[in-house]
Structure 1
């Protein structure tokens, strides 16, 4: 068996063999360093220790990418055994990155550092964009020296790599080693000495001059597992580095490189399961940030749904495509990130929203917005194919990007620089695409494209555009256009549904729609009414539309993001931001209006029926509801007004009514509303006020179909409108229900079920 470098000159060593707890031992000094981790003290869930995982030998520490770090105080002069300044430094460490930092402000995501670049002091070992890595040192002579991994020696995700960085001032060398072999060498002036970053703690997993994001988040933090970090005040030889690498292989792996199972390093939803505000039957990422779900597709017996995702933390940053799969549109499984920015000329800066379609062989393909900030415009339409035919891949985990964009915006093709979110569909004549954009000075627009082979596309002009003078709330740009077939109406006319999400100055960021006709020859849309309508009348809680025709049932299904409505501070504390809304079936009613209903498959989540009654007065109904409590409920309710002109139901109510949220209908105003003025006493939560919108119910009782899922409240009224909102009660006894009216009413029927988690 080969021998590792001896301990001569070893000044710091973190074996990370604890396997549990909130501290890590620095073995040389015997100092136990506290591990900073967001859930060491938790406000909305049970406190939990940082996450430990299998290491290369023993355990390793999992760094979550935004909150996990270690600070170690170094006594001045002790790192050099009394010799000032330091003439040599070597670092050896095993790392398994989970994702890469974007490289904001040109800074490294630190593995270990004690540096001040402005003063040219200290040292920094860290990662940069797309897996490149670097060792950087400040010299007494005032120089800041950097050595970078060459192309082809990037650190792979979800795999162990052994890194060594060696500074030898006496010999005038600085070197990088990867997995025991030298990969880079650079000269420094002979006799160089390190300039100590006095007064600075050594940080593991966090850049000690990190950039701030959103006033709350520190960027340039390591995401992944770190094991066996050693720091020497001498220059290790190439033989010692190679021997240290071989020692681990021989000792624990039978000579092979350490293997890492994906389940060991993946984002883990377990610490978030007990969060009293996190929805349990709405699909969500395992942790961290999501925005719109998109690209739904059915293939080989499974539904796939992707989502915009930042795997580094619960904040909007460099976007990837997260991925879920389901057999029933209700119970979902987390899969690895499907598409990530890579070191290429296609999408190095973000993989933005898109859609899924089938190729000529019936195989799924993904169309996405490729983000490349070095190009103008920095958004184009690109494609990725599954490896299904090559290696089976039943879950469609692996995707290969076509190396060049399919559609590049040209001047005169919409609002130049705003060109994103392709929605693609196929019929017997070929493939068609809508791309979100606008027309300069005229408002938002969906642009139309056609192709005979899915690869070569022809611009057909605006599919539909708004009159921003008439409807200023439709904004200058549209995102996420979706077109779904609604079938024929009573007059035998073939109808389609067009959905868009306006953005930009003056835009009301909601899901607007028109019902109308598709002119396939011109590839344009003719609405029945020029004025758009809303599916949902909540305020910015039902956004980011995507849709599909379900091949199994022929239904049109719409997916949305349910915005979280929280501050960055609370998203930091919680470790998650946003989730998807429930899948929604949309159809053309006999009266020509758009019908909306949650999909029937959700009934599979029903647990115990808590109550069922009919024809009760307000007083009688509330007496029956006295013992019905819960934050995961399905409620079906029909209310008939007698003298009442406003009537509805209070949910998430404390026994004394100090906290409650009121869903109600105003017959005089013809509005569906939610009153959140008493929703929470928490001073940091944003959910406040009254919100809602128009809903005409001439001669009808109010019929509400409500889903409560922790902070989620979705109310569907008479199959015509929904109201999605968020509630974050501060009190844990905010679980009650109460029927409400400003006069007499009759509860024609009411049923309540417990709902089960999908995880």
Structure 2
């Protein structure tokens, strides 16, 4: 982009986002809560800054933002690399691995090459277990628990307990569909059904990293609930230059313990995040009172080529997932978890008059590297607004108001001199449409990222964007390019 700023390596780590101690990181794995600790495992190559032999890195937290790095949990062996998966608490000892007690059980994909050609490989499902709350791990002597099926992409086991049927369920990504398996004891799995051959979004990239959970529909007077199936869509190497790269879709429906029934079979794509950098999302198992999730804050289009300073990769902020009834039907929405707001302090906000007319309006000048913001506004019909967040013109939100809807887009700038980054990282993209005239915007800006949740009357958009700029402290500004806007409130906090 002409005049775009250069992307720089982040020499200061994010203050709220998880990063590896060194080396390469991608998918979150095995998210599980046990004995007061949130366990975060992740795809890890500790010895290089690009993807390679996959390990499971490991960290724990009691508050979702102070993370303690622990020794690597799983390492490659003669069965192959340790690809993505999940973990659960075996609270009743059904696996027989804990002498009648309880422990953690992790499920992962063993990935091994056939011969010397990395394009030829096979994948099978393996299990590991821990008696000491994840401090040490033992690979199951009976691996594989599900053998390679005879086709190539067969990975990323997500295991849940289905209370209605009293059985364990595993969702597996198989090419461009999902298989569901069931077991009574976490060890002996039987194929139950398949989903997705003719539903959802299909590209040349594989489906990956499934997740499956049930949530109540908030505000429902009859206690309604739905099941959510989340699926990552991998990089489409043959796609157009302006393709989304890797992204996360989801399905809303019913699950009977064996089969998933989609409520929206004619809807080709429901996106969990409309930004560029929200992938391989996984939710925590065994959290008693809410559904929490974390995603990899990156995109396979450029992940291995972005600037680095001894580590490469970050996770999104933890978010609470919930279902909301919208004018388009039931949809999956998100909240930033309240724990993130601890140890932040209010910042001074510039006074403003309403309505704001055409021009460039300074809202605040945050003197901090980590900022949480919230802004409510009501644009007049026909108005075009550009909100520039802490990273200035490099990260902008664009709002175009109609009579009772608002079109939302975003712009990101920057170049690195690496063709793959310069082709795919910058640009302006449409995010979607919100209902109603009043818009609520919430965001976190940290070193290397901007995460936004944007609310209309019933609909929500999530926009997650990586950034690679030196940590300057840019002002928050609102440019009214046409029309006018009534600024209802704004608040900023810094940590």
TM-score bracket, shorter-length normalisation: 0.7 to 0.9
Equivalent residue number for residue 247 of structure 2:
510
Q: In the alignment, does 2:397 pair up with 1:666?
A: no
Q: Matches of 2:264 and 2:222 in 1, distance apart?
A: 16
Equivalent residue number for residue 127 of structure 2:
383
Deviations 1:86-119 (A, max 9, x none): xxxxxxxxxxxxxxxxxxxxxxxxxxxxxxxxxx
Superposition RMSD in Å = 2.9
Task: Tell me which of 463, 481, 484 is aligned to 2:213.
Answer: 484
Equivalent residue number for residue 408 of structure 1:
147
Deviations 1:38-92 (A, max 9, x none): xxxxx957xxxxxxxxxxxxxxxxxxxxxxxxxxxxxxxxxxxxxxxxxxxxxxx
Task: Tell me which of 477, 480, 483 is aligned to 1:738.
Answer: 477
Q: Matches of 1:378 and 1:661 in 2, distance apart?
A: 41
Q: In the alignment, does 2:426 pair up with 1:688?
A: yes
Equivalent residue number for residue 35 of structure 2:
300
Deviations 1:258-303 (A, max 9, x none): xxxxxxxxxxxxxxxx715x42210111121100112111111111
Q: Matches of 1:598 and 1:510 in 2, distance apart?
A: 20
- Could you say if the C-alpha distance between residues 665 and 624 of structure 1 is closer, same or farther in structure 2, counting changes exceeding 3 Å? closer
Q: In the alignment, does 2:89 pair up with 1:358?
A: yes
Q: Matches of 2:285 and 2:187 in 1, distance apart?
A: 23
- Could you say if the C-alpha distance between residues 484 and 648 of structure 1 is closer, same or farther in structure 2, counting changes exceeding 3 Å? farther
Task: Tell me which of 447, 454, 457 is aligned to 1:717.
Answer: 454
Q: Matches of 1:486 and 1:331 in 2, distance apart?
A: 27
Q: Matches of 1:614 and 1:703 in 2, distance apart?
A: 17
- Could you say if the C-alpha distance between residues 455 and 613 of structure 1 is closer, same or farther in structure 2, counting changes exceeding 3 Å? farther
Q: Matches of 2:350 and 2:294 in 1, distance apart?
A: 30
Equivalent residue number for residue 264 of structure 2:
529
Contact 1:290 1:577 in 2 (8 A): yes
Q: How far 1:567 moved relative to its partner?
A: 7.1
Equivalent residue number for residue 551 of structure 1:
287
- Could you say if the C-alpha distance between residues 748 and 614 of structure 1 is closer, same or farther in structure 2, counting changes exceeding 3 Å? farther
Structure 1, unaligned runs of 5 or more = 1-42, 46-273, 389-393, 439-443
- Give secondary structure in 2 for the equivalent of 1:611: coil
Choose between structure 1 and 2 for higher RCO, CA contacts under 8 A separated by at least 6 residues: 2
Q: Matches of 1:472 and 1:301 in 2, distance apart?
A: 39
- Could you say if the C-alpha distance between residues 698 and 608 of structure 1 is closer, same or farther in structure 2, counting changes exceeding 3 Å? closer
Q: Matches of 2:345 and 2:271 in 1, distance apart?
A: 32
- Could you say if the C-alpha distance between residues 681 and 431 of structure 1 is closer, same or farther in structure 2, counting changes exceeding 3 Å? closer
Contact 2:359 2:479 in 1 (8 A): no
- Give secondary structure in 1 for the equivalent of 2:341: helix
Deviations 1:644-672 (A, max 9, x none): 53224112456xxxx54211223348432
Equivalent residue number for residue 167 of structure 1:
none
Q: Matches of 2:227 and 2:303 in 1, distance apart?
A: 38
- Could you say if the C-alpha distance between residues 402 and 663 of structure 1 is closer, same or farther in structure 2, counting changes exceeding 3 Å? same
Q: How far 1:484 moved relative to its partner?
A: 1.1
- Give secondary structure in 2 for the equivalent of 1:529: coil
Larger radius of gyration between Structure 1 and Structure 2: 1
Equivalent residue number for residue 112 of structure 2:
372
Q: Matches of 2:129 and 2:438 in 1, distance apart?
A: 50
- Give secondary structure in 1 for the equivalent of 2:339: helix
Equivalent residue number for residue 63 of structure 2:
328
Q: How far 1:499 moved relative to its partner?
A: 0.2
Q: Equivalences for 1:67-216 in 2 at 5 Å?
A: none
Contact 2:385 2:398 in 1 (8 A): yes
Q: How far 1:408 moved relative to its partner?
A: 0.9
- Could you say if the C-alpha distance between residues 484 and 653 of structure 1 is closer, same or farther in structure 2, counting changes exceeding 3 Å? closer
Contact 2:125 2:147 in 1 (8 A): yes
Equivalent residue number for residue 315 of structure 2:
580
Q: Equivalences for 1:494-509 in 2 at 5 Å?
A: 494-503=225-234, 505=236, 509=246
Task: Tell me which of 675, 690, 713 is aligned to 2:411.
Answer: 675
Q: In the alignment, does 2:206 pair up with 1:449?
A: no
Deviations 1:374-424 (A, max 9, x none): 599621111111032xxxxx5x2210001321011334xxxx111000000
